[in-house]
Amino acid sequence: MNLSDILAPGAVRIVSHLTSKKRLFQEIGEIVASVHGLNASVAIEGLQERESLGPTGVGHGIALPHARLQELQKIIGVFVRLEKPLDYDSVDRQPVDLVFALFAPKDSGVDHLKALALVSRTMRDAGVVAKLRANSDPAKLHAILTEARAPQAAA
């Protein structure tokens, strides 16, 4: 599995006007609806439901919200770079500016975890993160993410 299998070019955005996590989830819902035809309300509800179990802000300005949805046939992602960092209740209490949302079919099982691990490894790569923060072109951000070679998990 590669990020290019999960992240469509149109699902990468730069956003400047968000003031809350709720509004961020609405933006992600709108993106996934426009790019993948998924019902935005279903996507938002899935993200909020998962977030109620514990925040998905993993630290260092990065959040990995995710949800399993009955309506999906394959794992899809949305990447958002926020021009203004947002309070996200992250584990390190730092505001978030890089958000990679992941949506998986309800019955995806281990594939969902593999995709989440791939995204997590990629977003822990300091070089990738620096490039993401230094670029404002969605096409360039997509290329950075899909060309990144995340360190492989120990076998």
Asked if residue 153 is part of any domain, the answer here is no
Read off the CATH number of the domain in which 60 is found.
Answer: 3.40.930.10
Q: Which residues pair with 63 in a beta bridge?
A: 57, 99
Asked if residue 16 is part of any domain, the answer here is yes
Give the confidence band of 109 by pLDDT, cuts at 50, 70, 90.
Answer: confident
From the list 36, 66, 112, 142, the catalytic residue is 66
The token pair at 89 is 């209740």
CB neighbour class for 120 (10 Å; exposed up to 12, middle 13-18, buried from 19): middle
Asked if residue 12 is part of any domain, the answer here is yes
Asked if residue 109 is part of any domain, the answer here is yes
- Which residue in the block uniquely carries the two structure tokens 């279903």? 42
Q: Which domain holds residue 41?
A: 3-147
Asked if residue 152 is part of any domain, the answer here is no
Quick one: DSSP state of residue 27?
A: H
The pTM assigned to this predicted structure is: 0.92
What does the buried/exposed string (b/e) look like for 78-91 if buried means 16 or more CB atoms within 10 Å of the residue's CB? Answer: bbbbbeeebebebe
First-to-last C-alpha distance (Å) of the chain: 16
Asked if residue 27 is part of any domain, the answer here is yes
Mean pLDDT of 31-46: 94
Task: Judge whether residue 150 has pLDDT over 60.
Answer: no
Residue 20's identity, in one-letter code, is S
Give the confidence band of 153 by pLDDT, cuts at 50, 70, 90.
Answer: very low
Asked if residue 77 is part of any domain, the answer here is yes
Total tally of structural domains belonging to the chain: 1
Is 66 in the active site?
yes
Asked if residue 110 is part of any domain, the answer here is yes
The token pair at 41 is 């309300």
Residue 125, pLDDT score: 93
Residue 155, pLDDT score: 37
Evaluated on CA atoms 150, 13, 23, 32, the torsion sign reads: negative
Q: What is the pLDDT of residues 40-99, one digit of tens each?
A: 999 999 999 999 998 899 999 999 999 999 989 999 999 999 999 999 988 899 999 999
